[in-house]
Amino acid sequence: MARYTGYKRPKNTKKALRELFHYMGYHKWLLLLVAVLVFISTGANVAGTYLLKPVINQFILPGDIRGLIYALIGMGIMYLCGALSTFGYNRLMVKTSQKVVADIRRDLFAHVQKLPLKYFDAHTHGELMSRFTNDVDTVQEALNNSFTMVIQSALTLTGTVVMLLVLNVNMSLIVIVFLCIMFFFIKWNGRRSKEYYDRQQAFLADINGFVEEMAAGQKVEKVFNHEEEDMKVFREKNEALRRASTKALGYSGMMVPSIVSLSYANYAVSACAGGLLAIAGRMDLGSLAAYLVYVRQSAMPLNQFTQQVNFILSALAGAERIFEMMHEEPEIDEGKVRLVRTEKTGENGRIGYAYAWQDEEGKLTPLKGDVRFENVTFGYVPDQKVLDGISLYAKPGQKIAFVGSTGAGKTTIINLINRFYEIQGGRILYDGIDIRDIRKEDLRRSLAMVIQDTHLFTGTITDNIRYGNLSATDEEVAEAARLANADSFIRRLPDGYRTMLYSDGSNLSQGQRQLLAIARAAVAHPPVLILDEATSSIDTRTERLIEKGMDAIMEGRTVFVIAHRLSTVRNSKAIMVLEHGTIIERGDHEELLEQKGRYYQLYTGMYELE
């Protein structure tokens, strides 16, 4: 019997099937071979039972031992072919299903890579991960087991009913009545068990979320002596889960015994009726023996078919969610301007390399790092503006800082430079080129960013730093670490630069992770550097060390800085004070202090960032 997953049925079964068959079509010849082997296996099973009639009537009753031996050998060969076919299609189906699922998983991941950030803003990580785990695994299990079993069960049931009619039409009515009773019982039982399994899944998700929340908040729970109250809530949730699980397992557990009992009753009634017909001479013993074997095996394919169809429908619901994700609109990228490497002659006459923007006509524009906002309007939600008519410029090599309250629009400006989101009005120019005309891949290759929420990947420290520039040598990685003042703590680790990081660098402190993120940006050697609260998780002493390295990193580059610590932006060429999506003050540190406006209030502590 198939395992019930608790999923709801697909909204559009035909569409989900069509898209799944599209992937299965890549391996149509393997699937055709599977279908042929299933047909052979089922045919051998159904035909082998029918051969009991001639074996009994023509060889056993007359006492023809020689003929009986030949007949048994023939039946043995037939059943052997069926067994080999079963083994063959099972192995082929496993191989095919893994290929289909691998194709789906590959295309799903490739599409996710192209989705805009707003999609990830609207969906939780757990929801996205369930597509790659629960939904894909359910499709895989359905292809492995249910696909062939549904075909085999349907063929076996059809073949069995046909052979019953061939052997004795009148007695077949008894079997058909019992099969109808079984069918309606299976439907009723399945509907009831599904109802309680759905409740079980909901209560299980609720209790898992509660346990996870309590485990993560143990310190708070203990500080406020909330253990008894939380235990009371847990008992209520646990009791609700127990009741739903008992009902669900009760209904599903009575399925097999009930079907078995009905099949025994069917067999008993058929045996009695067949025996009376045989005594009356209206049915030969061979036909009766074959008929009773068919009766005995008629319940199993019906039960299997119903259960597997339900499981396939549940798996199709998972496939539907996968394909819905695949149909999400990818990032818009109509850019044609590319980033290319060009040669340049240095002061000493040596040939070096630089980068330039190249349009469709081949015209080159040197990459300098000149960034300008012209009356830019943007909102994450169309009716709510985050930036309202922002205009600013950063010349090559300038350091521009943004300060302001939380929600003022500082990080949004940074996100728009990377073109993570599309603006609703105005334009952003990069070296005089509208960033919408630049390919996103090339645009982001010219930028490096250090954000507050540092993310490290599984791998060595060297791998994580090199993430900013995959062609960087070990020496360049070490140099970037020295610039970020990360080299000293790295070398103190047991394995140095070969230290493996797991779980987002959980074996390092928050400050050390931030240093690695800064080193990752340094190794990219970008013309534009973005620091979004880059030193927020670092103590004041370490911050002073970093600033020395950052000065070297920022030399000759356009730098955008967001910082709550105003001491880190004092040497900026220009400081922009934002409030409610507009720039209310701009100037360098001394100019803003002289204005005695919002920046002055922030710097002197008269007004705090919220």
Tell me the CATH number at 97: 1.20.1560.10
Same-domain check for residues 178 and 142: no
- Split into its structural domains, the chain has a count of 3
- What pLDDT was estimated at residue 465? 92
| Strand 447-450 relative to strand 338-345, pairing | unpaired
Residue with tokens 């067949």: 274
pLDDT of residue 58: 86
| pLDDT of the residue at 470 | 86
Q: Are residues 22 and 94 in the same domain?
A: yes
Query: What is the pLDDT confidence band of residue 609, given thresholds at 50, 70 and 90?
Result: very low
Say if residue 160 is in the same domain as residue 184: no
The answer to whether 348 touches 360, Cβ cutoff 8 Å, is: no
Per DSSP, helices labelled H in 471-527 are 474-483, 487-492, 510-523
Determine the pLDDT at residue 610. Answer: 44
The verdict on 71 and 207 lying in the same domain is: no
- Say yes or no: 162 and 191 in one domain: no
Of the candidates 576, 569, 514, the one whose C-alpha atom is nearest the C-alpha of residue 539 is: 514
| Average pLDDT of every residue of the chain | 83
Cα separation, 59 vs 53, whole angstroms: 10
CATH code of the domain covering residue 491:
3.40.50.300
- Report pLDDT for 350: 47
Give the model confidence (pLDDT) of 356-406 as tens digits.
Answer: 899 888 888 888 888 999 999 998 887 788 888 888 888 888 888 888 877
- Residue-number span of the structural domain to which 403 is assigned: 371-604
Q: Is residue 3 part of a domain?
A: no
pLDDT of the residue at 534: 65
Residue 305 in any domain: the answer is no
Query: Of the residues 266, 300, 331, which one is the last residue of a structural domain?
Result: 331
Q: Is residue 275 part of a domain?
A: yes
Looking at the structure, do residues 183 and 42 belong to the same domain, yes or no? no
Shared-domain flag, residues 174 and 143: no
Does pLDDT of 434 surpass 90? yes
pLDDT for 258-305, tens place per residue?
887 888 888 888 888 888 888 888 888 888 888 888 888 887 787 777
Among 318, 446, 217, 303, which Cα is nearest to 6's? 318
> In whole angstroms, what is the distance from residue 191 CA to residue 183 CA?
12
Is residue 298, in this structure, part of any structural domain at all? no
pLDDT at 16: 85
91 is a domain residue: yes
For the stretch 336-351, pLDDT in tens is 999 888 766 555 544 4
Is pLDDT above 90 for 429?
A: yes
For the residues of 434-461, what is the DSSP string, one character each?
Answer: EGGGB-HHHHHHTEEEE-SS----SEEH
518 and 376 in a single domain? The answer is yes
pLDDT at position 395: 85
Residue 595 lies in a domain: yes
Is the residue at 62 inside a domain? yes
- Position 256 in a domain: yes
Token reading at 223: 């500080």
What is the spatial distance between Cα 513 and Cα 504, in angstroms, rounded to a whole number?
9
| 58-88 pLDDT, tens digit each | 888 888 888 888 888 988 898 899 899 999 9
State mean pLDDT over 185-193. 81
**pLDDT score of 59:** 84
Supply the pTM of this predicted model.
0.73
Are residues 46 and 174 located together in one domain of the fold?
A: no
pLDDT at residue 343, as a whole number:
66
Q: Are residues 469 and 500 in the same domain?
A: yes
